[in-house]
Chains A and B, each alone.
Chain A
Amino acid sequence: GENVEQHPSTLSVQEGDSAVIKCTYSDSASNYFPWYKQELGKRPQLIIDIRSNVGEKKDQRIAVTLNKTAKHFSLHITETQPEDSAVYFCAAQLGRESTFGDGTTLTVKP
């Protein structure tokens, strides 16, 4: 089955700085890579996703890049704000099942 590793497990940045979270996956057949944000006490929600036929996708301050050859993908958040503080999960989907990374706790210090 698929295996997803996510790094770092915790990340602290100053407001306005950029944050980068990286994930690697094991199965080259995985073709969909979503990122979910889970604020404290709330449910995970999709913030951005990318399919295997695309190398990069951007939505305002967040972007995701995918390197299929190296089997890794990354989440980039620019101009971080305190409301970006949350746990972020990456996932790799094989067929109709997603395997999630262990999560990154991002803290944005004002």
Chain B
Amino acid sequence: EAGVTQSPTHLIKTRGQQVTLRCSPISGHTSVYWYQQALGLGLQFLLWYDEGEERNRGNFPPRFSGRQFPNYSSELNVNALELEDSALYLCASSLLGYEQFFGPGTRLTVL
């Protein structure tokens, strides 16, 4: 069974630009969660999607947004990038909301 996949692996952007990150969950998982992990820090909850709907969002500004597609894959969009957005962005998928299976992450660097 394939695990959670994310693309791209690495990304370098400049301040003010926009970025889109992608996540494919494990087959059959309907929930996708997005987290931000700044260097050396913990997992900060960004967004939760389930069955195509945004179910909850963390304490992040509206320039962080996303969506979930009918095949349950998901995108995270970040507009007007700031230096402090530099981080590892992890997505995780879950079935019935228990164990979360994480993807390898996308390392975003904002210059």
Which A residues contact B (CB, under 8 angstroms)? 32, 34, 36, 42-46, 49, 89, 93, 95-103
16 contacts between A and B (CB under 8 A): A32-B98, A34-B100, A42-B104, A43-B103, A44-B43, A44-B102, A89-B43, A95-B97, A96-B48, A96-B97, A97-B55, A98-B33, A98-B45, A98-B100, A100-B42, A103-B41
Residues of A within 8 A of B103 (CB): 43
CB nearest to B99 among chain A residues? A46
A52 to B19, CA, bound (A): 40
Q: Select A43's contact among B41, B45, B97, B104, beta carbons within 8 Å.
A: B104
Q: For chain B, which range describes its interface: under 10, 10 to 19, 20 to 34, or 35 or more residues? A: 20 to 34
Residues of B within 8 A of A49 (CB): 98-99
Residues of B within 8 A of A103 (CB): 41-43
Q: Select B99's contact among A34, A89, A102, beta carbons within 8 Å.
A: A34
Which B residues contact A (CB, under 8 angstroms)? 31, 33, 35, 41-43, 45, 48, 50, 55-56, 90, 94, 96-105
Q: Tally inter-chain residue pairs, CB-CB below 8 A.
A: 54
Residues of A within 8 A of B100 (CB): 34, 36, 46, 98
Q: Tell whether, in the assembled complex, residue A89 and residue B50 are in contact, meaning their CB atoms are under 8 Å apart.
A: no
Known interface pairs A45-B102, A49-B99; A102-B45 also in contact (CB < 8 Å): no
Chain A: interface secondary structure?
strand
Residues of A within 8 A of B90 (CB): 43-44
Residues of B within 8 A of A45 (CB): 102
Q: Tell whether, in the assembled complex, residue A102 and residue B98 are in contact, meaning their CB atoms are under 8 Å apart.
A: no
Q: Tell whether, in the assembled complex, residue A101 and residue B42 are in contact, meaning their CB atoms are under 8 Å apart.
A: yes
Min CB–CB distance A72 → chain B (angstroms): 18
A89 to B97, CA, bound (A): 17
